[in-house]
A = this chain, B = another copy of it.
Amino acid sequence: MVFSLLITYEICVVCALSCSCTAATACLKLKQFFPVLSWLPKYRLKEWLIHDIISGLCTGLVGTLQGLAFALLAEVPVGYGLYSSFFPILTYFFLGTSRHIAVGPFPVICLMVGQVVLALAPDEKFIIANSTLNETQIDYEARDAARVAISSTLCFLSGIIQLVLGVLQFGFVVRYLGDPLVRGFTTAAAFQVFISQIKLIFNIPSTNYSGVLSIVYTTIDIFANISKTNFADLIAGLITLVLCLVVKDLNERYKHIMRIPIPIEVIVAIVATGISYGVNLEETYNAAIVKNVPSGFIPPVAPDVSLFSQMIVPAFSIGILAYALAVSLGKVYATKYNYEIDGNQEFIAFGVSNIFSGCFSCFCASTALSRSAVQESTGGKTQIAGLITAAVVMISLLSIGTYLEPLQKSVLAAIVISNLKGMFWQVVDIPRLWRQNKWDTAIWLFTCFASLLLDIDLGLLAGIIFGLFTVLLRVQYPSYSSLGNVPGTDIYKDMKKYKNVEEPEGIKIIRFSSAIFYGNVDHLKDGIKSIVGFDAVRVFNKRAKAKRKMNKLLKKKQLTSSKNGIKENPVTDEDSESDDDMDNYDGTKKKEGNTNYLNVQVDWNTEFPDCVSIPVVTIHSIIFDFGQVSFLDVVAVECLKGIFEEFQRIDVDVYIAEYDDNIFGQLESCGFFNDAIKTDLCFLTIHDAVLHIQRQKKGGSSHSVLDMTSHLQESSQLIEMKDFKELRPTRYLQSQQEEYRNMMTLKTENSPTHTGTQ
């Protein structure tokens, strides 16, 4: 408490001093911590003050009513809503970086506060046996005192959490609250608020539920008790609701004509109070009225530290959500008016505000969309408008507050509901979002349903985890595609999506759309199998089996091996083994021994005798397009190595193209390259790889080129590139690539000469 007051005092002192501040760095630091110092000295008094005053007056009137109304959600006496609309503004004025948001209660946050309040101080705790009347009564005074203590302690604690997160520069947490998530969440929260306020409009007695499925229980409760409706409250509530909705719609529609929107909430509240007072609704119709609006300020109260342990989890979610909602709204205005919101400073600002106001029996502050919209649309330029708002609320508190006592609660509830319109309309996001992105729709819906059915903060947590999970899934199940050449260019495109692309003969080009890591290596293998059309291990086994069989036949003289291949002698084949992969089952060690008989070079693509069945492999090369592979881990490298080896032993060459330098480095550091898998399997572009393969397949001379290249790799002296280019134009890029690789290595070693270090 004292600490907060000290800070406020300090701020004032610092403000006074700031004009004469000489040390520039200290001044900058100060400006960072007290953004008011950077904008207040440049306040354009003549231009802006009038706007700020008008805006502040409007926002103040709306804020007073909203403060009273939202207090219903926080389950504290409505008067405390006025405090919550007043105190946080004072500190935010000095510390906040947003110039347009109206700090104060926000329905969703109030609802979350209300849930904690109900859980820690339920009605049952305050039952006093009334022996004379032989029935139980609730000690309302004690209950309300306990509830105010809880809500203000919660406010204090979430302030501490916000301050700590701000000091630790945790502003980035707001990132995880993506737009679809926040919209889904607030829609669900709007429904929760709606259900909780409907009860007040009907003024029916009901139990207060909290926790999982509470919305369902409350709804059932409402329908069960609907016969006990108080019609005085219902009618007042419905009229208020209709009036507010219609006038707000008109305000919105004719905002280009009207400079100041009609403060319908204030008008309705005044009229309703008058009627209630005149007809004496409370006694005549048993209507629920506000009662006991405090007049003047209450002295600061220290928070109840003993409650901290019971509310640390909700304090965390309330603190972060209150911050996130305010910052995301602040960013919208900041973008519109070309200034910047400092995420960490906002954390500090809200933290200090909540610590400060928590000492004055307030509940947790954020910013209400509707109130901020009023502040901005009526021309508010800076937080000076906020100060005016606070002044208006203070006047209400000091003088006219008590006159509002006859106001019906159902009128306030209707005002709350009318403020939810925008949040409900977010439901129309869904079809648009569905067209735009299925994953985001999933996040929206999941967060919404989770927040509806689970507890509201549990739902938010579930939504955040789900959101991150969708990112993982997108990384984990990347799409893979087979590419073909766009005729006459060096461009390669998806075979499935483009009609006129041509696949180079005998070459498969496979593209992956994500990083490769332990979670998706199996997916990668399946992808390769489905694109290539055969299983390399199976083909190898089949070939080994065929070799064994042919050896047997050769021994039995049923086959004759000649220079042109293998001929079948006309003898019937008796022992036909079934088609299975139990073939090369003796293990790798014995394999060479078994194949020793067959000394002729087997060309697996020629025709074979009928008795020997081997799968046809129509390709001779595979190119992996690693253009979208942003990282690899050791499991991925190990898996790639396995894939390379599996294909190489069935005489299919595998190449890597379009790789990133980081990927190459990763492959190297994980020992990917060896005698069989050489670095010259890597090509800068797919086209280079294709040209190289085609050249190699045409003439056998390409081996010398390979030798040259490997010589180039090993030699410490760089061969003049130009000669190379003239000799072998298609290899030029490949050798260039070597040159750049060398360059790269050199650069890291800080050596100025061009010597290869491969």
Contacts and interface: CB of A to CB of B under 8 A. Distances in A.
A411 B521 CA distance: 43
Contact of A634 (B381, B440, B471, B669): B440
B740 A498 contact: yes
A661 B479 CA distance: 12
Contacts of A217: none
A287 B631 CA distance: 57
Contacts of A491: 684-685, 733, 736
B743 A499 contact: yes
Contacts of A582: 38-39, 42, 339
Contact of A336 (B42, B486, B513, B587): B587
B498 A580 contact: no
Contacts of A310: none
A373 to B, nearest CB: 15
B471 A337 contact: no
A237 to B, nearest CB: 37
A519 interface: yes
A185 interface: no
Contact of A580 (B38, B581, B586): B38
B178 A519 contact: yes
A472 interface: yes
A744 interface: yes
Contacts of A433: 634
A175 interface: yes
A394 to B, nearest CB: 28
Interface residues of A, number: 94
Interface in A449-498: 467-468, 471-472, 474-475, 478-479, 486, 489, 491, 493-494, 497-498
B669 A744 contact: no
A338 B38 contact: no
A1 interface: no
Contacts of A638: 179
Contacts of A637: 436
Interface string A204-226: 00000000000000000000000
B437 A633 contact: yes
Contacts of A439: 633
A740 B486 contact: yes
A597 interface: no
Contacts of A498: 740, 743-744, 747
Contact of A635 (B178, B381, B517, B581): B178
Contacts of A181: 518
Nearest to A41: B578
Contact of A588 (B337, B381, B471, B633): B337
A736 B634 contact: no
Nearest to A469: B468
A180 interface: yes
Given A489-B733, A581-B339, A437 B588 contact: no
A630 interface: yes
A39 B519 CA distance: 31
A569 interface: no
Contacts of A666: 436-437
Interface string A268-312: 000000000000000000000000000000000000000000000
A20 to B, nearest CB: 15
Given A180-B634, A628-B628, A642-B335, A175 B518 contact: yes
B176 A519 contact: yes
Interface string A720-758: 000000000000010010001001101100000000000
Complex copy number for this chain: 2
B437 A634 contact: yes
A396 interface: no
Contacts of A339: 581-582, 585
A537 interface: yes
Nearest to A181: B518
Give the one of A338, A475, A521, A642 with max B CB within 10 A: A338
A172 B462 CA distance: 23
Contacts of A563: none
A541 interface: yes
Nearest to A171: B522
A135 interface: no
Contacts of A8: none
Contacts of A172: 522
Given A478-B630, A585-B339, A497 B660 contact: no
A633 B178 contact: yes
A175 B666 CA distance: 21
A595 interface: no
A499 B440 contact: no
A515 B478 CA distance: 11
Interface in A489-537: 489, 491, 493-494, 497-500, 513-515, 517-522, 537
A717 interface: no
A578 B634 contact: no
A584 interface: yes
A46 interface: no
Nearest to A494: B661
A340 interface: yes
Nearest to A737: B491
A577 interface: yes
Contact of A740 (B178, B335, B493, B522): B493
A440 B633 contact: yes
Given A497-B747, A514-B515, 5 more contacts: A47-B586, A172-B522, A180-B633, A440-B635, A491-B685
The 9 closest A-B pairs by CB, nearest first: A178-B518, A513-B630, A436-B670, A338-B584, A440-B634, A179-B635, A514-B630, A628-B630, A337-B587
6 contacts: A175-B521, A335-B642, A338-B541, A491-B684, A497-B747, A498-B747
